[in-house]
């Protein structure tokens, strides 16, 4: 039986990916790769820390398909990913599935640089890969909705840019499909939600749910970055977020290929559900 390992398995996307794999194939042989193997993830777990290169290959023993979920630690993410790739090659992993970024090397976002470097490292490794270029998660916006509603407005720098977001659960299903079917080997998929929205349209949906007008106020990129810093975000991270928002004006977060919905066999989830869920109660 094919052994599938999922990195970052205790994170938001990792947990959903394991659940999606098991939902599609209850007998699938899945192992969770996490910093703390005592975490209750419903499947066997192995200690796995991207930054501890010497420990990675032994943790990948017997793994056929490795789902490499991109690190959420912005301290040399590309270097961390290269550690995993080298370990996978050493351990004889058959295929790596990598969660990259929409448009890959064509993305103008600063955030894309680590993903571009990782895709290049994967190509150089000679390993068989499946690249899932994930678009924006709807949760990138719903996570801060309560504060936006309390403040009476949403803010950003995306202007009228179309953002084809989808919930993490939809992207997790794509991981499951790719992990369970070897026919996806060698493929690169641009993944995004079926229906794109501007942030003004997103704010209009929020307004509908809360029963009062919550406008979207568009700001210059630097002003938005400064506000994020005032909220307590590290300057570097605030810069990356503001840059990503501004690049949405130029289509960096838009894709209308509907590849994600074809891959998972159903339409992607509209923004209304996650918005209502975030604001319930």
pLDDT digit string, tens, across residues 28-42: 999 999 998 887 889
**Average pLDDT of 166-175?**
98
pLDDT at residue 224 in the model: 97
Tell me the pLDDT of the chain averaged across its residues.
96
**Average pLDDT of 256-271?**
98
Alpha helices in the chain, H assignment, sequence order: 12-24, 53-59, 77-91, 112-125, 139-142, 145-151, 168-180, 199-210, 221-230, 235-247, 259-264, 272-279
pLDDT at residue 89 in the model: 97
pLDDT band for position 199 (cuts 50, 70, 90)? very high
pLDDT at residue 281 in the model: 64
User: pLDDT by residue (tens digit) across 218-253?
Assistant: 999 999 999 999 999 999 999 999 999 999 999 999
pLDDT at residue 75 in the model: 82
pLDDT band for position 272 (cuts 50, 70, 90)? very high
196 phi, psi to nearest 5 deg:
-80, 160
Query: Domains in the chain, start-ordered, CATH in brackets?
Result: 3-135+167-191+257-265 (3.40.50.720)
Q: Is the separation of the CB atoms in 98 and 118 below 8 Å?
A: yes
d(CA 70, CA 115): 8
d(CA 109, CA 111): 5
Q: Is the separation of the CB atoms in 53 and 83 below 8 Å?
A: yes
**Is it the case that residue 260 has pLDDT exceeding 90?**
yes
pLDDT at residue 73 in the model: 83
**Average pLDDT of 7-21?**
96
Alpha helices in 92-234, H assignment, sequence order: 112-125, 139-142, 145-151, 168-180, 199-210, 221-230
User: pLDDT by residue (tens digit) across 57-91?
Assistant: 999 999 999 999 999 888 899 999 999 999 999 99
The rounded radius of gyration (Å) of the Cα atoms in the chain is 19
pLDDT at residue 100 in the model: 98
Q: Which residue has the higher pLDDT, 281 or 108?
A: 108
Q: Is the separation of the CB atoms in 176 and 20 below 8 Å?
A: yes
Specify burial of residue 51 (Cβ count, 10 A radius: 0-12, 13-18, 19+).
Answer: middle
pTM: 0.96
**Average pLDDT of 207-212?**
96
């Amino acid at each position: 039986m094919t052994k599938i390992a999922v990195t970052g398995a205790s994170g938001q996307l990792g947990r959903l990916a394991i659940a999606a794999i098991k939902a599609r194939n209850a007998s699938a042989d899945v192992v969770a790769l996490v910093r703390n193997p005592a975490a209750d993830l419903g499947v066997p777990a192995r200690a796995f820390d991207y930054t501890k290169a010497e420990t990675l290959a032994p943790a990948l023993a017997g793994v056929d398909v490795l789902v490499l979920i991109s690190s959420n630690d912005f301290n040399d993410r590309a270097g961390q990913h290269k550690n995993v790739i080298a370990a996978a090659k050493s351990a004889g992993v058959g295929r790596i599935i990598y969660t990259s970024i929409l448009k890959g090397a064509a993305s103008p976002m600063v955030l894309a640089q680590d993903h571009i470097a990782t895709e290049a490292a994967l190509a150089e490794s000679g390993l068989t890969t499946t690249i899932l270029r994930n678009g924006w998660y709807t949760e990138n916006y719903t996570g801060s909705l309560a504060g936006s509603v309390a403040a009476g407005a949403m803010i950003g720098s995306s202007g009228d840019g179309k953002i084809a977001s989808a919930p993490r659960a939809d992207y997790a299903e794509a991981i499951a499909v790719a992990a369970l079917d070897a026919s996806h080997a060698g493929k690169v998929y641009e993944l995004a939600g079926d229906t794109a929205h501007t942030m003004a349209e997103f704010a209009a949906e929020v307004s509908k749910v809360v029963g009062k007008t919550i406008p979207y106020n568009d700001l210059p990129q630097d002003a938005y970055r400064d506000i994020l810093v005032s909220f307590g975000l590290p300057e570097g991270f605030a810069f990356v977020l503001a840059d990503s928002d501004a690049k949405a004006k130029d289509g960096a977060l838009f894709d209308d290929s509907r590849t994600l919905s074809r891959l998972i066999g159903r339409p992607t989830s509209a923004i209304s559900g996650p918005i209502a869920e975030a604001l319930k109660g």
